[in-house]
Structure 1
Amino acid sequence: MCVGSPQPFFRLDCFIEMSDIRIKLTELRYNLRGSSKWDNGFVWLWLAGPFLYLIERTPADIWLSVFGIVFLLRSFHTNQWQWLSAFWVRSTGLFWVVALIVSGLSDRPLYSLGEAIAWVRFPLYAAACMFWLGTNRARLNMMFATMGLATAIMAVALAVEFGSVIMLSSDHSARLSGPYGDLIPGSFLGKAMMPLAIILAAIAMSKPLKHGLVLAVAGGSMVIFTTITGERVNAALIGVAVFLASCAWVVRPRRLVLFGTLAATGFLLLFAVFPGIADRFSAGNKSEITNYFNSAYWFSVRPGIVAAMESPLTGIGVGMHRLQCPEIPQGPQWLVGQNDCHPHPHQFYVQLAEETGIFGLLTGVIMIVSIIITAANGRSNRTLYSSLAWIPPALLFFPQPSADFFGQWNNLFLWFAVGLALAMAQDQHANDT
């Protein structure tokens, strides 16, 4: 039986037979019987999200924003505000208030306030997932099923694009754009679909070898496809996530060594056949690794540090880096390198210090830590989903080269995974044995 059924909780063909998808649909319909038609409709819309993410940022953003707005309206209608007592929600609210205040004090208050106000839609979506949309196993099961289908579609699109690159060019190190026309499909796989990858990895460790091997290949394929996109950080994130999930639910050292050996063999073959990919992921001759403080990566971070030192208390305002970067001075001589302007400084915590000041940095860190702790507390439920919930937020908020903290695309991917992880943390399904 599939996850969530009253019999043993998983079998191999659970992800590959249409009959099992029908079982999940039946379970979901049964689960929704006691809900209003409006709630049911929004749950079905929620399940369509992974497919909207395959189109473009605007449909995905509208989808995510709708749930934040409806969640607030639903809270007013039902007078249910218990979710506001959650510590991560309160810490997020505190950070948002600080962001609004410093934005109002910036040189372009209307622009900066607009950026700060718009950002709150992302944690609101996460709250909607945790306290409304993903409140039981049947809904989570169906979401993972739709994520699996969306991942398969993305894999086909990337395979076709990669094949065309091979036929038209000898440069195998070129990054892929997938269906977006933008170099971000690795964020879809490595960030938004991370919860699916860790579920596959954990179940692969707990099931008989024959079944577990196929699931391990499915999870490993997500890492492989993220790798061929050329997005190194996202490939590292999903790779580490799969490894952690392999140890977080059922620990089988021999199985771990076996699957690890197969994974290493697969990557060696990939790098041997496509040396351009190997070169992109190798450490040799990469200035960002061998000489970081004389690399483009450091030069993009540096102006954020200088701006944070220039305005340590209030920062320059949310979203103001892209407007003010050319005016940022070179700063003290001991801060090596030079400034290179980008829309953001490519580091979450540097951006928080730069745009929201010391108070924004402190409250932002408290917000992030509270989210990770909330997800980690789910381990006390001792279910498959709750035991893995800490992995996505812990990795996605880990200090690393990153996109815009207040931007659109990155947050759409990141908060999709974080919201689902927070919902997973509440899972109390009793048959994960």
Structure 2
Amino acid sequence: MPLSLLLQRAALVAVLLVTPSLLNARALADIFFSVTAILFLIQSGRTRQWAWLRQGWVPFAGAWWVWEMICSLPLSGPFHGTWPNFVQALVMVRYGVFAAALENWVLRDPRPRVWLRWVVQAVTAYICAGVLYQYVMGKNFYGYGRWADGELTGPFYKPRAAPELVRILFPALLPPVMTLISRKSFWYRAAGVLLAALGIACMVLISQRMPVLLTILGLAVSALFLPKLRPVAIGLVIVGGLVIAASPVISPQTYYRLVEKFSMQMDHFRSSPYGLLLRRADEMTEQAPIFGRGFNGFRDGCPDMRYWVGWTHQPGDIGGGLPTCKQHPHNFYLQASTDGGYPGLILFSLMVIAWLRAMARGLWRKPDAVRVGLFAAAFIHLWPIASTSAFLSLPVSGYFFVVLGWGLAEARWRES
């Protein structure tokens, strides 16, 4: 077997194993990300094919990565970095190279892309099955009950199901749904609507606010590209609203999380944990507007009292003090600004725009269910008005980089 083919097949195996590994083996998943990236670099070096470094989104991602490393240097003056944080900034390049490997090498042929879709659909079905089983039985497959506020945990021991599921729901669900509702038979169409309703019901029943809002956004984006989905999407939103309206009876925990607690937090946003995190991150950026605080800047700087400034800017308003501190500011764009100042925020935003533009290439002219699902998944993950995990935190961002590389490959190679 030629060495090039051997390297490509080894990388494909690693790619197919990433998504299931993200369920309960994050370290193993990270190894698969790294293996795929390293094999791609080896192949590029063997064949001297480095043109991908100058194409599309890669220069924007490279510029952001370089700036993140510069801001993480342990220098004096305006820099706040440390050597451990610099090393973490250095090695985060593996995720970008992983996405480039999928686009330019591993998923060039259609069969590997189909295999990856099957894997993602299997993982989606597993999470949904765990959610529905826990809702009916009271405990999940492994004996765990609901979380403290009543959230369903699905096949996990803590509330991870919704943030992970929403990242892969649309590329997994849209292809079979669109195939079914495009048929002439009433029963096929009904099956397609039922399948879509089942996916939306899973998200609502889990009872996590932000994933439900992102699901609605993803549904709107998908319907924008797929005219046949529009009446189904409107019906699903109505059904979802009815489920929430009936939730005080069928699922009181869902009503509390999605209606009562959400309304309370929006009414008092500034004093909520999310509002305090926003103010703390904003203050960090204002005091380090050029270089930020480097990788992990928010986590390292949050306990520093010079950033304890509340919304009123009065001497007694310390913005929640030490209890406000978390490992990250719960928003990708706030994280980019605290890490790299305003230049870091601009470079990060340009990278995001380049990603979405590449994934949307030709999509309006020739919409395809797989590509639309992948674009919707990436769009809602990168939506700026959202509470998120850290940008490179597994497993959630792991699903995103799988979707990103897969979507870029579909956009580039589906026509050919």
**TM class by smaller structure:** 0.7 to 0.9
Aligned with 1:409 (options 381, 395, 412)? 395
1:232 and 2:209 aligned: yes
Structure 1 counterpart SS, 2:227: coil
Distance verdict in 2 for CA 1:192–1:222, change over 3 Å = same
Q: Which whole-Å CA distance do the structure 2 matches of 1:411 and 1:169 have between them? A: 26
Q: Deviations over 1:239-280 (max 9, x none)?
A: 322343234133465555555545545555556400210221
Whether the 8 Å contact between 1:115 and 1:406 is mirrored in structure 2 is no
Whether the 8 Å contact between 2:392 and 2:398 is mirrored in structure 1 is no
Q: Which whole-Å CA distance do the structure 2 matches of 1:177 and 1:115 have between them? A: 30
User: Percent identity between the aligned chains?
Assistant: 18
Aligned pairs for 1:103-114 within 5 A:
103-104=72-73, 105=75, 106-114=79-87
Aligned pairs for 1:378-393 within 5 A:
378-379=362-363, 382=366, 384=368, 385-393=370-378
Structure 1 counterpart SS, 2:66: helix
Structure 2 counterpart SS, 1:190: helix
Q: Which runs of 5+ in 2 are unaligned?
A: none
Moved over 4 A (4+): 32-35, 165-173, 252-271
Distance verdict in 2 for CA 1:141–1:52, change over 3 Å = same
Deviation larger for 338-347 or 261-270: 261-270
Distance verdict in 2 for CA 1:142–1:325, change over 3 Å = same
Aligned with 2:382 (options 380, 383, 397)? 397
Question: Who is 1:323 aligned against?
Answer: 300
Q: Deviations over 1:117-163 (max 9, x none)?
A: 23222222211121122223322222111222222222233334443
Q: Deviations over 1:67-94 (max 9, x none)?
A: 1221111211222222112231110000
Question: Who is 1:40 aligned against?
Answer: 9
Deviation at 1:108, TM superposition (A): 4.1
Question: Who is 1:145 aligned against?
Answer: 118
Aligned length: 399
Q: Deviations over 1:47-102 (max 9, x none)?
A: 23332222232122222222122111121122222211223111000000000000
Q: Which whole-Å CA distance do the structure 1 matches of 2:364 and 2:262 have between them? A: 46
Structure 1 counterpart SS, 2:138: helix
Question: Who is 2:138 aligned against?
Answer: 164
What letter corresponds to residue 412 of structure 1 in structure 2?
G
What letter corresponds to residue 279 of structure 1 in structure 2?
Y
Structure 2 counterpart SS, 1:346: coil
Q: Which whole-Å CA distance do the structure 2 matches of 1:34 and 1:214 have between them? A: 46
Whether the 8 Å contact between 1:91 and 1:363 is mirrored in structure 2 is yes
Deviation at 1:342, TM superposition (A): 0.7
Whether the 8 Å contact between 2:218 and 2:379 is mirrored in structure 1 is no
Task: Name the TM-score, length of structure 1 as normaliser.
Answer: 0.82
Aligned pairs for 1:152-191 within 5 A:
152-162=125-135, 163-165=137-139, 173-191=149-167
1:121 and 2:107 aligned: no
Question: Who is 1:341 aligned against?
Answer: 325
Task: Name the TM-score, length of structure 2 as normaliser.
Answer: 0.85
Deviation at 1:309, TM superposition (A): 0.8
Question: Who is 1:63 aligned against?
Answer: 32
Q: Which runs of 5+ in 1 are unaligned?
A: 1-31
What letter corresponds to residue 219 of structure 2 in structure 1?
V
Q: Which whole-Å CA distance do the structure 2 matches of 1:398 and 1:371 have between them? A: 13
Whether the 8 Å contact between 2:16 and 2:116 is mirrored in structure 1 is yes
Deviation larger for 373-382 or 398-407: 373-382
| CA-based RMSD | 3.1
Q: Which whole-Å CA distance do the structure 2 matches of 1:289 and 1:323 have between them? A: 28
Deviation at 1:205, TM superposition (A): 4.4
Structure 1 counterpart SS, 2:299: helix
Q: Deviations over 1:172-207 (max 9, x none)?
A: 942244444343222221114442234344445433
Q: Which whole-Å CA distance do the structure 1 matches of 2:187 and 2:240 have between them? A: 16
